Amino acid sequence: MTGNFTNARCGVCDRKLTVHQQARGSTCDDARCRLQQSIRAGQLDSSRSTANRARLSAVRDRLVPRAGLSPGPMPVAVLPVLNRGVSKLPSERYEAFRRRLTDAVREAMAPENIDEGDTCEQSEPIDAAPSGAQQRVMSHGCATCRGYCCEGGGDHAFLWPAQIRKKLRVNPDLSADDLLERYLAKVPTHSVEDSCVFHTGHGCALERHERADSCNNFYCSGMSELWHSLNCGGTLRAFVGAATDQQFVRFSVIDRHGATSFGPDERPEPPRAVSRHEP
């Protein structure tokens, strides 16, 4: 019965709460949402995260009707943000990448080097892969952040020897020298300052299959939470906010078709395709 529901919504999946659910807490009865809420409560920065989500929910409730967007479930997710300019890639950074990649290719060809790891300290894995539709939604979430995790790529782009070896196995007709030449040819003349050499103002200069596994398969905690919300809530849209430690920089309503973005003043921003996880 509709009378059993309140105006409150689950803090994870954004479904409406019943009177009993609201009295018991801030989530619905879904065990995954209750677990996620427990994890949030145990985080060291839970008070700040809770405040940010509350603020983001309030911004969503103002912007969605004002922008003429349809109502309905729209979970929120707080993402990190990278706000840096784009400039000509310094020649010393190109040379540093060339040396690193040359060394990685050389090590990849050495039979004794078989146990290199491939990790991204600023990312954490999700426990299952998003569906195709979820992946498209999340790619627009990444575009709102504009590449915080790409910063860690520096002058190596996460292309460790194990990654090079894997790509050579997948492409047996490609020689190590050919692979080296292909990557060097993809280095852009202009990139985001002090980020990965392949990080441009319009996303990654590499095709998805050319990137390191960590670039395709790992997500920051905010993106992992977004995936969880999409997965358990059964919705294919969300409201995300990219924030520094002090403030939100931009907001976006995202779905599988694209993103409607707003600046910190809650005014619409022009479309801009920037995504680490673009299809």
Q: Which helix (H) or strand (E) holds 200?
A: strand 199-200
> Is 50 exceeded by the pLDDT of residue 242?
yes
Contact call for residues 251 and 266 (beta carbons, < 8 A) = yes
- Flag whether 16 is in a domain: yes
What is the separation of C-alpha 40 from the centre of its chain, rounded to a whole number of angstroms?
19
- Flag whether 27 is in a domain: yes
Alpha-helix residue ranges (DSSP H) falling in the chain: 19-24, 31-42, 46-66, 91-109, 132-145, 161-170, 176-186, 213-217, 221-233
Q: pLDDT tens across 69-109, in order?
A: 887 888 999 998 888 899 999 999 999 999 999 999 999 98
The upper half-sphere exposure of residue 180, i.e. CA atoms within 13 Å in the direction of its Cβ, equals: 17
- Flag whether 277 is in a domain: no
**For the chain, what is the domain count?**
1
> Is 90 exceeded by the pLDDT of residue 192?
yes
Q: Supply the angle between the helices 221-233 and 31-42 in degrees, to the nearest 10.
A: 160
pLDDT, greater one: 63 or 71: 63
Q: Which domain holds residue 6?
A: 1-42
- Predicted structure pTM score: 0.73
Q: pLDDT over 70 for what percent of the chain?
A: 84
- Flag whether 141 is in a domain: no
Q: pLDDT over 90 for what percent of the chain?
A: 34
Rounded to the nearest integer, the mean pLDDT of the chain is 82
Q: pLDDT tens across 147-174, in order?
A: 888 988 999 999 999 899 999 998 888 8
What is the separation of C-alpha 224 from the centre of its chain, rounded to a whole number of angstroms?
8
- Flag whether 23 is in a domain: yes
- Flag whether 21 is in a domain: yes
- Flag whether 165 is in a domain: no
Specify the 3-state DSSP secondary structure of 207: coil
